[in-house]
Structure 1
Amino acid sequence: MTAQTIDTSKLWDMIGDIRFGMLTVRGADGRLYSRPMTTQNGEADRGAVIWFFMARSGQPLADLTASPDVNVAYADHDSDKYVSASGTARLVEDPVKKQELWSAAAKAWFPGGVEDPELALVAVLVADAEYWDVKANKAVQLFKLAKAALTGEPPTDLAEHRRARMR
């Protein structure tokens, strides 16, 4: 399957209601580590950048600073929507952007608010995204899977699957 350029609105249609993404970074030991992170994007921030708050003294920030190539994976099992977005992460020193993205939920992690010295703003500049959007209802999915098991032919048309170059 070849990559195609898509409107970023499709990406956000898929992940807009999913609060947490699994951010995967390469650690200093060369291994991959995934951690759940709260996506901070609001309605006005639905382009090819995914925003996160994280602790300045935490391992995730140290890891992505040393090796900025990252992946963010989203899954909504109830809606059968799955997204994998890869790109480059970077620390952003922008107090105005922090204020724009700030929410009451972030205060649980950063009690000092947007002025908290531990609060780091990280942008993931999405280069490529891949998604699977299952359109068939559960009964149709089960039927197609059962048929595939009986015939030995992989199921087809279970989901819309696309790879997209974002920039």
Structure 2
Amino acid sequence: MANLDKLKQNPKEQLFEHLDDVRAVMLGSPVHHQHMQPMAPQVDKEAGTVWFYTNKSSDLVKALGQDGGEVHLCIVEKDYQACLLGDLTVDHNPQKIDQFWSSVIAAWFEGDKTDPDLTMLCFRPKNGSIWASDKNPITFAWEIAKANHKDQKPDIGERTSVDFH
């Protein structure tokens, strides 16, 4: 369950903790007719950035072009959801390639760290919204029943906005 006190006190810190724990996020494209795609986030908490390994030949890299673009990054977990708007750029940064490299990532690139098709994407968030709940399934059901009985909205969590500037 999400920690609602932390959501209220330090939503950015909590967000980066969740980003560091998830296996994949959904990452948008600056080209509106392309669908979002799952990507494995590599989090640089100090810099406030999220990095992704990808292929230079991918549709997302082609859509970004030289200048990059504004995209959405979404996290959807059972009790924590976030949607961030930010800038995504292609950045073949050797330090970042080394920093986050693992055997899981190596499995995707035949030439290892020197694969000519390997590149990095850097996401720099601008703002976002976060929804979180600390309700277990029984409490959730109780809140729904109570809301229907009293003709009111259920108390199932919190929402907050974050600004990264």
Structure 1 114/57 Cα, relative in aligned 2: closer, same or farther at 3 Å?
Answer: same
Aligned residue number for residue 93 of structure 1: 92
The alignment status of 1:34 with 2:36, answered yes or no, reads yes
Work out whether residues 25 and 60 of structure 1, in 8 Å CA contact, stay in contact via their aligned partners in 2.
yes
Q: Distance in 2 between matches of 1:70 and 1:12?
A: 18
Q: How many residues align?
A: 156
How far the C-alpha of 1:165 sits from its partner, in A, is 0.1
Q: Secondary structure at the match of 1:25?
A: coil
How far the C-alpha of 1:102 sits from its partner, in A, is 1.1
Cα root mean square deviation, aligned: 2.1
Work out whether residues 28 and 73 of structure 2, in 8 Å CA contact, stay in contact via their aligned partners in 1.
yes
How far the C-alpha of 1:70 sits from its partner, in A, is 0.5
Work out whether residues 68 and 89 of structure 1, in 8 Å CA contact, stay in contact via their aligned partners in 2.
yes
- Give 1:53-68 correspondences, 5 Å limit: 53-65=53-65, 68=69
Q: Secondary structure at the match of 2:109?
A: coil
Q: Please state which structure has a larger fraction of its residues in strand.
A: 1
Work out whether residues 68 and 90 of structure 2, in 8 Å CA contact, stay in contact via their aligned partners in 1.
no
- Give 1:1-167 correspondences, 5 Å limit: 8-27=12-31, 30-41=32-43, 45-46=44-45, 47-65=47-65, 68-77=69-78, 80-156=79-155, 158-167=156-165
TM-score, structure 2 normalization: 0.85
Using the aligned pairs only, state the percent identity.
22
Q: Distance in 2 between matches of 1:13 and 1:36?
A: 18
Q: Distance in 1 between matches of 2:138 and 2:95?
A: 48
